[in-house]
Structure 1
Amino acid sequence: MSKRDYYEVLGVGKSADEREIKKAYKRLAMKYHPDRTKGDKEMGEKFREVQEAYEILTDSQKRAAYDQYGHAGVDPNRGGAGFGGGADFGDIFGDVFGDIFGGGGRGGRQSRARQGSDLRYNLELSLEEAVRGKSVEIKVPTLVACEPCDGSGAKKGTKPTTCPTCHGNGQVQMRQGFFAVQQTCPTCSGRGQIISDPCRECHGHGRTEKTKTLSVKVPAGVDTGDRIRLTGEGEAGESGAPPGDLYVQVHVREHNIFTRDSNNLYCEVPLSFTTAALGGDIEVPTLDGKVKLKITPETQTGKLFRLRGKGVKSVRSGSVGDLMCRVVVETPVNLNSKQKELLQELNNSMGKGDEAAKYRPKEKGFFDGVKKFFDDLTG
């Protein structure tokens, strides 16, 4: 079966420039792509036909041979340049569909050196350090650009050369009929270059291991889970590529007095029986020192007292949280006989039954609820 004219396949004239050819190919390839045609055999043949035409007409040497000799000029069975001789489908799809599928195209293939890896450092801080901020020095083992060869991997005074196997592409293709399998070049391991005289310091890798000492400025108000990014302090890239970043991951240790929730601090304050009943002033801790807290009479366990502005200043908004003091009424222990008599006298003075309810309203409310529960259960 004779092949159709490549210009006819793409629907362009013989004077069409590369931009027109790419535009036509994109339109037809999207139309006949297997993902859209659901395995239709006829559409699949048209898709391959369009690919073949595009590959020939976007290669200046193959196009010239085709224009002069027709299909014979590019047919490998007739000694021509041949469609099977080097079609790079990665380049085709990278150029035409890069904006859709995120392909790097030829530009990406020419820059094979990979950016250095990002690193993470776990930094543990006390609550006080996290709230106030501080500068800390950290030691980070990493890969840095080799100084003698300036990261090239080649001995000083020499340069890497283009790989003769892949011609700088970093990848080679194995073909069987129309289909091609692309794989990393075994000669240069995908770099596109080879080093005949490697640097003695890094043995051709372009990077060496080093422990860097860095100063990290921890802003006031950081909390567990926050990250501080140090741009360019990660691993050095390959063959002079940009380095990665270092992320300092913050973890705040538990405090023996305060618990943090966002920008607020919470603490539990023991309260004497008499102060809870009569009221008074007590001293409570804050991160800035002791302050007085006024306790209202008849305070019950669990009541929260708010000290405004005694919390944490937000690292993002700058607003300052509060300190929430939860009081816990402490029952007296280790009483002597006299103290026990006084407490019993106090209890007797409150009376019994309904008379005592005005002194212990929660107790009466609870037992009234219990009585109603059992009445409903048996009634």
Structure 2
Amino acid sequence: MLWVGNTLGLWIAGRLFQGAASAMAWVVGNALVSDTVGPEGITQAIGWTTMACSIGLFAGPLLGGVLYQYGGYDTVYGFAIGLIGLDIILCLSLIEKKRAQIWLDPEQVQDSKGSESPHASGKQQVQSPRRINLGRFSILLSSSRVLIAIWGSFVISTINASFDSVLPLYVLDTFGWKQSGQGLIFLPLLLPHFISPMAGSIMDKHSQSRRCVIAGAFLLSVPTIVLLRLITYSSLRQKILLCGLLPAIGICVSITLPPLYAEAVNVAEEKERLALGSFGKGGAVALAFGLTNIGFACGAIAGPLFAGFICQHAGWGTMTWALGLLVGSTVAPVLFFTGGRIWKEK
């Protein structure tokens, strides 16, 4: 629809289908990852998936700009269709852990099935109807940790979407860069995301560090974003400054998203143990990813509107201040509530 469409209705419909497919793939994919690795390695695993997602978000404008400039309009969509075809093949080739376990260790699977019934039966006796009647969404949303994870996802997505929409136009107006240059400027934002799995692995081993790491990354990103306002004219020094500030922002973003998602998953698993039977098997984790994905999707919508409106009516400098304030407002809630209320820690 996006490729061959020649009316606004077709483009909107194509965008709706694209967004729905992306949301389902992201939520189900992360839930599958969580089910495979378990709670001990969840932050590192999500680090890999968020790294891939972030690289895709930033590589899209980069590759799209280069392909469009040198290959034309059809080349961009031909490349996208090829990626989708490869993705379909990989999805069809996937074997879930619960199915593979039957072949790898059938005796252990049979034993675990035999031991599930009494345990589950005992749990059913202590099941709390009041918690179940609250509804699945309210059970998770009653946790301040989940709300902080959703808000953090929203802020990170807003930052990404803001740069995605405003940065290419700004380097065009300031430096006169064409499509390839507008795409390549996302490379400094993209490269730091390769450290996400490593950062996730460290936070899996030191889970108590999540609070300080996330809050510290948000805090350090505030002056980095605000300093972008110094880039106002075309010179080699200004270009070097831009390419130096963008990786710093990318580092801060890359190390915050995995622990935020892991935080939501941990809460979901805790709530599932307390509200037995109300989520279904693995339902709490999938729902937690769905809620954080809503925050991320809202940020993707708000980012271009927020940054584009401010940049157009008040200028680039004011936009950087606004983004900095948005990120700065996140520091205190993250510090106080990530991992539980800080004043209740032993």
Fold shared per TM-score above 0.5: no
Identify the structure with the greater strand proportion.
1
Identify the structure with the greater helix proportion.
2
**TM-score (norm. length: structure 1):** 0.20
Give 1 or 2 for the bigger CA radius of gyration. 1
